[in-house]
Amino acid sequence: MPAHATLAGRTIDDRYQIDRKVGEGGMSFVYLVTDLTSGERRAMKVLSPSLSRDQNAVARLGREAELAGRVRHPNVCHIEHIGHTVDGLVYVVMPFLEGEILADRTYRLGQIPLEETVAYVADIAAGLQAAHEQRIVHRDLKPENVMITRGADGVEHAIVMDFGLAKERRAGPELERLTATGIVLGTPEFMSPEQLRGKTLDGRSDVYALGLITVEMLTGTLPFVGKSQQELMLARLRNEPNPIRKIRPDLALPASVERVLLKALSRNPDDRYATAPEFAGALLSACRPGAIGNTAQVLKKWFG
């Protein structure tokens, strides 16, 4: 098995020249590569050595490639290619996004201004809706899976990444087995109550996660507290989220914004917004008149 963390300089499958490592996580290493057939830069995610030997993990990666490849939208990072090498590398190739991870942006700034937050929420919602229309639920939406990039127009956009835990709402027995560990593999801080309980999920679970992300962008923290992961999970199952005015009284956000966030974070999915664009639109409409510009024009730009 090759040394997955030191692949710089190798050429994979006579096509992808590995330039340098740009990140790593518990399941994979990410490299900047050059596609020798086009000369364009791409990102390559290489499954870690232990998972490369795990048939379920390889199947999950294949499913990520298949699902994310089907969601073609400017606010979704789609998968272009999946491959296996003779010496044991399992990898996927996707567009290389230059920018800043949303989690890093929020940590660096402490909190993100309302106008920028609304714009990022609308971008994320548009990307999620493209997936939800194909009956695909992300299941692991979190700030680490959102990239802030600057487009050719000079405007920053949010792009949803990593559909590794994504799941079709209509799944057969084989897919059910592959996603049975979803609760373990997901990120507890951003899981909806129904995901914590192991219930059937739909797009409203992603709406809940987007609501949590929005609160963190606006305040720099999450609306639930706990000394451990278990306490945080129990808080979401039993308690109402802490009001923003209590978390950050200095922000003076409109009360209407807080009402929108509380609805998105309802424990019962039936009490939330039915779709991600509905949540984004409500958030935009809740802002003070003139704070974000013409509401109708902005909504049309994002959602048509």
Residues noted as catalytic: 140
DSSP-assigned letter for residue 190: G
- Cα(115)–Cα(92) distance, integer angstroms: 35
- Cα(213)–Cα(265) distance, integer angstroms: 11
Structural Rg of the chain based on CA atoms: 20
- Cα(73)–Cα(123) distance, integer angstroms: 10
Given a contact cutoff of 8 angstroms between Cβ atoms, the answer to whether 29 and 48 are in contact is yes
- Cα(243)–Cα(223) distance, integer angstroms: 7
Tell me which long-range contacts 15-23 makes (C-beta under 8 A, separation of at least 24). Answer: 16/42, 16/44, 16/93, 18/44
Residue 238, both tokens: 């039993």
β-pair type (146-150, 136-137)? unpaired
Q: For the purposes of burial, counting CB atoms within 10 Å of the CB of 97, is it exposed (0-12), middle (13-18) or buried (19 or more)?
A: middle
Pick the closest to residue 201 from 189, 213, 186, 216 (CA basis). 186
